[in-house]
Amino acid sequence: MNQIRVGIIGFGVGKLHATALRSVGLYYRGFPPIDFVAVATATPESGQRAVEDFGFEWSTTDYHRLLEDKEINTLVIATPTDWHLPMLKDALHSGKAIYMDKPLAVNLDQAEQLWDTAQQTGNNAQMAFEFRFCPALQTAHDIIQDGHLGELYAFRLSYFRSSYVDPNKPLRWKGKAQSDGGVLNDYASHLIDLLLWLTQSPQSIAAQKRTFITERPIHKGAQDKTPVETDDHTTLLCSMPEGGTGTIEVGRLITGAVNAMVVELYGSKASLKWNLMNPNYLLLAQGTHPSGESGWVHIPTAQRYPDAMLPGGDVPVGMMRFHIASVADFLRRTLAGEPYDPDIAQGLRVQAVIEAANRSVQLETWAQVPLQD
């Protein structure tokens, strides 16, 4: 592949992926030129804005045109979740390289269909679980893989935002059941991926979902309102295969939270903590010291990206940098012909945990996580 010729389907969160793609060559050596060929959007107006702002050659409201265009060899899919099934299915048949926004699908059945299609076509996609590419969490991953955490006793993972505190802010597609844009699918998918990547999948789940604001304006400034059919806040109690326990909690109505993701892992040998609002440090407490002396050590991880040209590892990091590293990893794997990680199979595993949580809510009891090998 002498050129990376990109088509992007969906240009809401797609703007983030486009910005990351635009930035890759500034941070990493060895990539061929990246050209923005086309963008598919919901309206001609939004497509024209994307052309003007990001330099796409053309826009369309028909995503099939991007799949059929032989000039495009790389696709980004970043649409509302209920479009993921048909779009990713079609994209897998196109044979193009695919970068897929999370979550994989609306439900487990759809996720399984997508994995089946990937196996049938011999094509795959890299999932956009960008928090894996935070240097602090990569350091945590190394510590755990080296056995320094020991047996996992407990964990607390949370992702709180204040995005929809205002009851007059429309949810648009995220409020509709058909797209399942609630916080379990939207926010918890990130945390579940991190849990599976850092440790392993829960064995069973007990979950509660709550919708506190039950209706919102149909659009900005409207007096007419529409029911909210998705969750504002969800809590998962997780039972782990080897006896550990933990919680995953997500909410979009948390005043003051801004963008607050917290990862805490407690093991027999050590404990680890990380906070998205203070992303430059991983906190480590080791059990090798007497209990009264085993305080938290702040490990400065900042921008520890060994393959990056710049900036230096001592420069503070931000969330956009995770996106850039994630996209760079996708492109590197594409060019090298290496398997994607995280791929559709990982998206399926994440969806299996979400499925168990939804089943627990429906049955008001513990639910087993369907095995996904």
pLDDT score of 242: 93
pLDDT score of 332: 98
- CATH class of the domain whose range is 132-315+349-363: alpha beta
DSSP code, position 37? E
pLDDT score of 192: 98
In tens, the pLDDT along 60-76 reads: 999 999 999 999 999 99
Distance, in Å, from the CA atom of 162 to the CA atom of 310, rounded to the nearest integer, reads 33
pLDDT score of 339: 98
Distance, in Å, from the CA atom of 74 to the CA atom of 7, rounded to the nearest integer, reads 6
pLDDT score of 295: 87
pLDDT score of 25: 95
Contacts of 330 (CB under 8 A, 6+ apart): 97, 99, 126, 340
Q: pTM of the full predicted structure?
A: 0.96
Taking the domains of the chain in order of start, what are their residue ranges? 4-130, 132-315+349-363
pLDDT score of 371: 79
Residue ranges, the chain, pLDDT below 70: 291-293, 372-373
Residue 111: count other Cβ atoms within 10 Å of its Cβ.
26
pLDDT score of 1: 78
Can you spell out the DSSP letters for 254-306?
-TT-SEEEEEEEEESSEEEEEETTEEEEEEEEETTS-GGG---EEEE-TT--T
pLDDT score of 291: 65
pLDDT score of 180: 87
pLDDT score of 292: 64
Look at the block and give the residue holding tokens 């047996």.
Answer: 151
Fold observed for domain 4-130: Rossmann fold (3.40.50)
In tens, the pLDDT along 68-114 reads: 999 999 999 999 999 999 999 999 999 999 999 999 999 999 999 99
